[in-house]
Amino acid sequence: MSLPDAPPTDATPAPATPRAPAGARPAPACTLVIFGAHGDLTKRLLMPALYNLAGSGLLYPGFRIIGVDRVASTTAQWRDGLTAMMQSFTHDPNAEFHAPSIDSKQWGWVCERLEYVQADFGDLAQVRALGEKIPGNAIFYLAVSSRFFAPVVEMLGRAGLVTQTDGHFRRVVIEKPFGADLASARELNRRILAVLDESQVYRIDHFLGKETVQNILAMRFGNLLFEPLWRNEFIDHVQITAAETIGVEQRGAFYEPTGALRDMIPNHLFQLFGMVAMEPPNSFSADTVRTSKEQLFEAVRPIPPTDAVRGQYGAGTVEGKPVIAYRESPGVAPDSHTETYVALKLHVDNWRWAGVPFYLRTGKSLGGRRTEVVVQFKKPPMMMFRDTETQELPPNRIILNIQPAQGLTVEMGAKRPGPKMDLAEVQVRFRYEDVFAQSPNVGYETLLYDCLTGDATLFQRADNIEAAWRAVDPVLKAWAGNADGLELYPAGATGPKGADELLERDGRAWYPLDGV
């Protein structure tokens, strides 16, 4: 398929499949400046998200996109490369954004607003020259390596590009990882907040852009059925899982100094934990919601190393395909002790959750791919069925399915047909695709729109970030520079044996990866 050049029109395109929520309006006129224009994040995630926002009618006609990078290129060359990437998504079922076709008018509207600027963000004169292209509102998106976050923000400050005047906003979007431990996160916050006000900083975690993650709040606080049971009187424990079948592939050089804990726990899994366990906020305003999360994170008892398990995958088979060991991957040391799997038990010291353990696990090259939250309830206080065919019922569970299944599953007991009282476990399921029309998306659409409209509800505040790092800091320090306790597990397994033992010593077991 060949897409034509952008049509010379300033009208917002009508969406091929309307997706705009009721009452949503186009975001105000703004220039989106993307540092790292030639990077993978820009090509695979940001551009598809902008394409979808354009199709939803949520971008103002005056919206502009300036890509900034050191790579020698022209606007036409950058646009052509992005177009080729968008075309490739139509025949790549494994892409984050997979669509049967690309609407030429919709993509053309985006292309017309693209401009490429070759610049070194370490060069003050070049950054100041960039500012001459940005009148009015602006958002600076740092799609660059984390080591450049503070230097870019400081250069924007020196160039005067983040000063808010004449009623115009200037905001900065910062990707993860935000720091590598508590000390570095604090230092990064210090440097950024020396230039920007907290209200200008949007620390993004794309997990929060997923409809199924946002649905946790809708489920808890929009239905009286659930929230009265959401406490230690009724809940036995909670499991949060983010299991991947893929390994590190060609990303060994990035993953080697990072590991599963830094990559997933203080951000993705803690965000799911926050949605599940925070106290009901007084309103849905950004600061109120984020304050509820911060209070929860502050109540997490620092995790002792004895409540943490780490593993690394060896050679094996995943989904019928052979997988080489992590240590044989490009960019990985042959004696690496970087963990590709981590399981933790954490406790929350507040009235709602006292005595309820939360078990978190994440890993690569596992036997199943799923992100989910399993809320397991206590057993009934009296087994009135003890003199029947039913000796012991399995516990009730609510399973929040994030991906690949999207929705909610309730596991409960029901009478088996027949003359005798015999109960069986049944599942009641809700799936998004069965109820709502869905369009291809990458999870960044909502987050970009919220940033454009100034809604920081789904973005992390400085205190949220530091509280999450504080909880895992004892584990990071214990694991630093040594391989003590690192367990090897074969690719395609459910993880190291120590992860099972972590729950077994409490008389519990992980929900199976081949479950719902």
Contact 19, 106 (CB under 8 A): no
Cα–Cα distance, 267 to 282 (Å, whole number): 24
Binding residues for NADP(+): 70, 120-121, 176
- Going by the annotation, the residues of the binding site for substrate are 206, 210, 244, 263, 364
Say if strands 308-314 and 487-490 run parallel, antiparallel, or are unpaired. parallel
168 classed as catalytic: no
Instruction: Give dist(CA 220, CA 226) in Å, integer.
Output: 6
Sign of CA dihedral 115, 120, 122, 123: negative
Going by their DSSP bridges, the two strands 341-346 and 358-363 should be labelled as: antiparallel
User: Could you say which of 98, 168, 237, 268 is catalytic?
Assistant: 268
CA–centroid distance for 209 within its chain: 7
Q: Which residue, among 102, 215, 219, 201, has the nearest Cα to 153 in the 3D structure?
A: 201
User: What is the per-residue burial (b if ≥16 Cβ within 10 Å, else e) of 357-380?
Assistant: bbbbbbbbbbbbebbbbbbbbeee
CA-to-CA dists, residue 26 to 260, 285, 332, angstroms:
38, 20, 46
List, in sequence order, every residue forming a beta bridge with 173; answer none if it has no partner: 141, 202
**Sequence-ordered strand ranges (E) for 204-337:** 235-243, 308-314, 316-318, 321-323
Which residues lie closer than 8 Å to 78 by C-beta, 6 or more apart?
Answer: 37, 38, 67, 114, 116
From the number of C-beta atoms within 10 Å of its C-beta (0-12, 13-18, 19+), residue 222 rates as exposed
- Residues annotated as binding site? 70, 120-121, 176, 206, 210, 244, 263, 364
CA 253/CA 170 separation, integer angstroms: 34
Active site residues: 268
